[in-house]
Chains A and B, each alone.
Chain A
Amino acid sequence: DTEVTQTPKHLVMGMTNKKSLKCEQHMGHRAMYWYKQKAKKPPELMFVYSYEKLSINESVPSRFSPECPNSSLLNLHLHALQPEDSALYLCASSRLAGTYEQYFGPGTRLTVT
Chain B
Amino acid sequence: SQQGEEDPQALSIQEGENATMNCSYKTSINNLQWYRQNSGRGLVHLILIRSNEREKHSGRLRVTLDTSKKSSSLLITASRAADTASYFCATDYAGANSKLTFGKGITLSVRP
Q: Which residues of A come within 8 Å of B, CB atoms? A: 4, 6, 31, 40-43, 45, 48, 50, 55-56, 88, 90, 92, 97-107, 109
Contacts and interface: CB of A to CB of B under 8 A. Distances in A.
B104 interface: yes
Interface residues of B, number: 24
Interface string B17-48: 00000000000001101010000111111001
Interface of B: 3, 30-31, 33, 35, 40-45, 48, 50, 88, 92, 97-105
Q: Chain B: interface secondary structure?
A: strand
Nearest to B107: A40
A112 to B, nearest CB: 17
B52 to A, nearest CB: 12
Given A41-B104, A88-B40, A101-B33, 15 more contacts: A31-B98, A42-B103, A55-B98, A56-B98, A90-B42, A97-B98, A98-B92, A101-B45, A102-B33, A104-B42, A104-B44, A104-B45, A106-B42, A107-B42, A109-B40
